[in-house]
Homo-oligomer: A and B are copies of this chain.
Amino acid sequence: VSITRNELKNLRALKTKKGRREQALFIAEGIRILEEALRFKIVPKTVFYCPEMINLRAEPLLKQFQKLSVRLNKLPAKDFEAISDAETPQGVLATISVPESDLKKLYRRSYRRILLCEHLADPGNLGTLLRSAAAFGFGLVILTGSSVEPYSPKVVRSTVGGLFSVKIARSNLTEIAELIREEQIRLVAADSSGKSLRKGLVAGSTKIMLALGSEAHGLSADLMKLAKVRIRIMHTDRVESLNVAVAGSILMKDIYELSDR
């Protein structure tokens, strides 16, 4: 199946936030990410591939999509490159529906560990955090404030498929305050004025929500007020702070290790 100029135009528009919002679709590109999509039973709307660009590893992938009755579209190299965001495109990408992002609809009582990102600006940092959230059993990630949109090519690529196994909600402080009160979730703020993480904080059936702030300014005063506990990572004074994706990942890993699993 070939595609029309108009379809190509729509595809290119998915590289922009506006295009993704209007079409409720995003692009996932590359073999590894699409293998992860399959593993988590994500069925793309359409798969696009470029016969001159794909390697052997792409073939079983394309066959699996075919089995799932996903529409496969051939693209000439020129068109593929116009849509691709990769430095060295592997010749396969898919359009996928943007998932539900309403916190009330996504929340399940079974979530023991939740990540909250406030004003997180950098797509690479968000992608890395989504990957780590998946790794350490943080099944729900809540974005608030001016946090970057999670379905841009850069974020999707940085998750290396991690975004397919976590739920991503967009919310605000009022709704979050209500949730932690009603569900008795312990809100823990990552902050340089905090204390080291202790086992008591996460033991038993405690539900934890870990809050991370912006790269430049940390958490807002309003969010700090909501948090009963502040934790930090001990390090030398040779740097002022850690990268937020590193700090968040370290804290998620420590919480994961200390939790009764």
Contacts and interface: CB of A to CB of B under 8 A. Distances in A.
- Copies of the polypeptide in the assembly: 2
B132 A246 contact: yes
A254 to B, nearest CB: 9
Interface string A220-255: 000000000000011110111111011001100100
A124 interface: yes
Contacts of A235: 135-136, 253, 256
A253 B233 contact: yes
A239 B160 CA distance: 8
A19 interface: no
Contacts of A36: 240
Contacts of A249: 242-243, 246, 249-250
Interface of A, secondary structure class, is: helix
A162 interface: yes
Interface core residue of A158, A162, A239, A257 (most chain B CB under 10 Å): A239
Interface residues of A, number: 33
A165 interface: yes
A20 interface: no
A112 interface: no
A163 to B, nearest CB: 10
A24 to B, nearest CB: 25
19 contacts: A131-B239, A131-B243, A132-B242, A132-B243, A132-B246, A134-B238, A135-B235, A136-B235, A137-B236, A137-B238, A158-B243, A160-B243, A161-B240, A162-B239, A235-B256, A246-B249, A249-B249, A250-B250, A250-B253
Interface of A: 32, 36, 124, 128, 131-132, 134-137, 158, 160-162, 165-166, 233-236, 238-243, 245-246, 249-250, 253, 256-257
